[in-house]
Structures are given as C-alpha cells and as structure tokens.
Structure 1
C-alpha cells in the first residue's frame, strides 16, 4: 500500500511540475482514455446516464448529511444552488411540455432537494453562510446563457419559446457550478463534505458527458442530426464537455488530497 501511494505521489508530483499546456494535453489524453475504457467495458451506454444520476444522488446525500448533522452550510455556495434550481425548473417545464420521461422524475427529485438546501442555507443555517466569499455575480452567467439561447437553440418542431428555454437550461447547467468554485477559490480551504459533494458533481458530469459522446459515436453522428441542424447539436455536446472540464482541476486536487491522507482539501492559488 505504501509503495502504491508513493508511486501515485510520484506521478502527481511529476504532473504538478509540468507547464499548463502539458497539463491540458494530459487532461485531454486522460479523458479520451477514460472514454475508450468505458466504451469497451460498458456495453449499454444508457447505463452511464443512470450511473451519473446515482453519483449525483450520492453527492446530494452528502450535502444533506452536512446540513442536518453538522448544522453548518459553511463552504456551500447559495448562488450555485439557486442556479441549479433555476435550470432544473426550466428543464422540468420543458420535460412536461416536450418529452415527459424518466428524466422528468429524476429532475423533480433533484429540484426538491435543491430547494430544501436553499431553504436551509437562507433561513435555518444563515449564520454559517459565507456570504462575503460567495461573491460571484450570477448575472455573468444567466445573461450570456439567455442571449446564447436566443441565438442558438433547437430547430425541432416544438414551440419557439420552449426551444429557447430548452437551450437556456442546457447552457446554464454547464456553468451553474462556477459560484461554488469561486467560493472555494476565495477560501482556499475546502472542508471534507463540501469537497465530497463537488467531487461527486465532477464524476456525475463526466459520466453524463461520456454518455453523450458514446451515444454520438454509437449512432455514427445520427443522434446529433436528430437534435436538429445548425449550431445547436454541437453546442449541446460542447456544453457537456464544458461541464466536465470546469470541474476537472478541482477533481485532480481532490484525488491528490485523498491519496495524501489529507482530510481538508487545500487549493493552491489559481485553481478553479
């Protein structure tokens, strides 16, 4: 076990010493290798979506434990939770009027828990909320997402307004975690339960991205054409990829911290 930890530590140390361009290249290669592995190991790629939802549920469970047992919301971004509630609400509306399926039920459950988290932060645990650190201006993401949705949205036969809403929630989901990352950047120290929650988000979004990418490969691109034409299909895929890479840096330091035996995650300057 010690040899294994030393080997991992040596690899992590080597990666850390590399320039940013090399790190970016290694991240891309690692992502492609992981996708190739999943493609050959997981035969039913739809199960990746189920796995993503399961991991997300684990993350939410950790969050619920933190709020109910630890009685503190320190380290949690209220703004990220509000953005999550916003895109889930819009997506639920789209699901009801456009494509009612299992996603609707899953999103309903996630929205209920997210609203509960918001309630706990705003009212029950307000004294422990780091409002001064949670200083990301959410209009920096809401407004661009709305404008982008007006310009690039599905070209299906659905109602025009509904198509814009659909695009808006897809774009907003991709960047909804930014306030949480900003808060962690401001504090530089991330306590365990918050770190577990954000790491679970990272894994869930990677699995969701893998699901989309592998579905596109399996259908030889027909899935993208089924979504419409123009810029919308590649933008959907790009949104999934952006979600994954936004959290990639944090996940790297999380894994490094775990293997280093550190209970509290300390982020160096410039991370996230």
Structure 2
C-alpha cells in the first residue's frame, strides 16, 4: 500500500502541474493574501520596513557563518556583494544628511558585515571564488541606475545631489541581486547557506514592498504625493515590486526544496 502524501506535498505537486498563467495567478493571489494578513496582524506598518532591513542583516550574518565555518565562498557572488555595499553606503549617506533614525543603525550594521564578506572573498578565500561563474557585468546595472537617477529623482526640498543619491540607491537596490541570481543559474545547484541568504533577501524585499503598498492604501495615496511629483513616486513603488518579483521564483524553489527534505536547492535551467 502506498503511503499517503502529505497535504503540503500534494499541493506542491498540483501547483507544479498547472500551466504558467495559472501559476502566475496563484502567485498574485498568495501575495495579496499575505498582504492582507500583514495588514491585520501588524499594527504599526512602519515596523515592516524595519523588519525588512533586519532580515537583510540576518541574511548577511548567515553568509558570515558560512565563510567562517566552511572556509569557502563558493556560490557567493562578489559582484552582488559589491553592489549591495554601494547602495548601502549611498543610502547611509542619505540617512545622515536627510533623516537619521533606526534605519541608519540597521544600514550601518548591514554595510559593515557586507564589507567583511567582500574582504573575505577578495583576500582570505579567493581560491574558492567562482570568478568564471560570477560573470554578470555590474556596469550593466550601475550605469543605467546612475542615468535614471539623474533623470528621475525626488522633488523634495533637499539638495539636488542628495536627491539624486537617494534615487540612485533605490534603483540600485532593486536589481543588486541580479549577479547572485546569474551565478546560481550558472551552477544550478545552490548549497544551503547561500540559499538561506538569498531566501532572506526575498523575505526582506517582500516585507519592504508590503510596507510601501500598505502605506499607500492607508494614506489613500497621499504617501505618493508626499514623496514628490512626476514619475518618482511611481518608480519608488515599482522598484519595490521589481525586487520582490526578481526573487520570487527562487523563493518558490527554495520552499519546495525545504518541504521536500532536500539540503540543496536545484534550479531548472532558465529560472533566474
């Protein structure tokens, strides 16, 4: 007699058999349900943004644990870490000159740990770095973000340079994970600690996106006008959504692997 399938595995099997359009519909429906849940559970929605930054910092701590325990940086994209350090440094500058709060402290901690990861990859564990697989050109990310920030930035009363920096870090953060996803696509099998780190980024991005969407609805759209006028408010929200969808596919395979009892995440070709 065959053992009964667990409900979770049965649902996963059913989802896997659905056509792409149905999977996309289910993903949107799940996202809306999660947003509704957070709206009811979290009283102060500003805490979602703090939680997002805390989860990001926690994910970086997972990388540090991997580097110190396993003495290898295989599977980690140096380019993604460098892009992360760039947008965190710019955002930290903006925090100091524009608005000093709890986010400044969290960004400082995350930047410090990210710089430590970069140091370890570049110098201490250089022999295990997959340079040939980490082949995403960061100039394809930095230059468009810089140009876009010059064209579209906040229209607040702050100095023009600071407003451009603010826009640059928002745009760069949205796509800074692309080199890491490209590396994982090249190797197709992602070991546990790296998978935990990328999943943490996905959770952080979803919480941040949820914060903005819920705040827009709570303020009946007034939040967008408070950010300025023109295309900037829409691009802020779009950047949050883009970050979430970039990592959504990987998070699906991560959860699938965890429930399947696998220690590694296996990515089909062309997933990211």
If the length of structure 1 is used for normalisation, what is the TM-score? Answer: 0.96
Which residue of the partner structure matches residue 32 of structure 2? 32
Tell me, in whole angstroms, the C-alpha distance in 2 between the residues paired with 1:186 and 1:17: 25
Tell me, in whole angstroms, the C-alpha distance in 2 between the residues paired with 1:13 and 1:78: 35
Tell me, in whole angstroms, the C-alpha distance in 1 between the residues paired with 2:152 and 2:122: 35
Runs of 4 or more consecutive aligned structure 1 residues displaced over 3 Å after TM superposition: none
For residue 54 of structure 1, report the CA deviation from its aligned partner.
Answer: 2.6
1:44 aligns with 2:51: no
Greater CA drift, 57-66 or 239-248: 57-66
Which residue of the partner structure matches residue 120 of structure 2? 120
Tell me, in whole angstroms, the C-alpha distance in 1 between the residues paired with 2:78 and 2:252: 24
Structure 1: 5+ residue stretches without partners: none
Tell me, in whole angstroms, the C-alpha distance in 2 between the residues paired with 1:141 and 1:53: 22
DSSP 3-state at the match of 1:34: helix
**Alpha-carbon displacement from aligned partner over 1:160-193 (angstroms, at most 9, x marks no partner):** 1211111010000000000000000000000000
Whether the 8 Å CA contact 2:192–2:265 is kept in 1: the answer is: yes
Q: Paired residues, what number?
A: 270
Tell me, in whole angstroms, the C-alpha distance in 2 between the residues paired with 1:49 and 1:194: 23
Tell me, in whole angstroms, the C-alpha distance in 2 between the residues paired with 1:80 and 1:122: 13
Whether the 8 Å CA contact 2:57–2:106 is kept in 1: the answer is: no
Which residue of the partner structure matches residue 198 of structure 1? 198
DSSP 3-state at the match of 2:6: helix
Whether the 8 Å CA contact 2:153–2:163 is kept in 1: the answer is: yes
Which residue of the partner structure matches residue 10 of structure 1? 10
Task: Give the 5 Å matches for 1:102-117.
Answer: 102-117=102-117
Which residue of the partner structure matches residue 137 of structure 1? 137
Structure 2: 5+ residue stretches without partners: none
Whether the 8 Å CA contact 2:94–2:166 is kept in 1: the answer is: yes
Tell me, in whole angstroms, the C-alpha distance in 2 between the residues paired with 1:208 and 1:136: 25
Tell me, in whole angstroms, the C-alpha distance in 2 between the residues paired with 1:6 and 1:133: 37
Tell me, in whole angstroms, the C-alpha distance in 1 between the residues paired with 2:173 and 2:141: 10
Which residue of the partner structure matches residue 235 of structure 2? 235
**Alpha-carbon displacement from aligned partner over 1:187-243 (angstroms, at most 9, x marks no partner):** 000000000010011011111111111111111111111100111011101111111
If the length of structure 2 is used for normalisation, what is the TM-score? Answer: 0.96
Which residue of the partner structure matches residue 169 of structure 1? 169
DSSP 3-state at the match of 1:18: coil
Question: CA RMSD for the aligned pairs?
Answer: 1.3
Which residue of the partner structure matches residue 209 of structure 1? 209
